[in-house]
Amino acid sequence: MHAVGFIHRDIKPENIVLKRAGEIHAVIADFGLATEAQLQEYIYVRCGTPGFIAPEIIYHTGRSGQSCISDVFSLGVVAHILATGNNPFVGRNCHETLAKNNAALLKLSQDQYKKVNPYLLNFIVRTLERDPCKRLSSSELLNDPLFDSEFPMLLKVGTHTTVT
Residues 98 and 27: their CA atoms lie apart, in Å, by 26
Q: Exposed e or buried b for every residue in 59-77, given b needs 16+ CB within 10 A?
A: ebeeeeebbbbbbbbbbbb
Residues 130 and 144: their CA atoms lie apart, in Å, by 19
Three-class SS state of 85: coil
Check if 131 is active-site. no
The answer for residues whose C-beta is within 8 angstroms of residue 92's C-beta and 6 or more apart is none
Active-site residue, selected from the candidate residues 10, 71, 131, 144: 10
DSSP string, 31-74: -TT-EETT-SB-SSSS-S-TTT--HHHHT--SBS---THHHHHH
Residues 68 and 37: their CA atoms lie apart, in Å, by 7
> What's the gap between Cα 11 and its chain centre?
7
Task: Report the catalytic residues.
Answer: 10
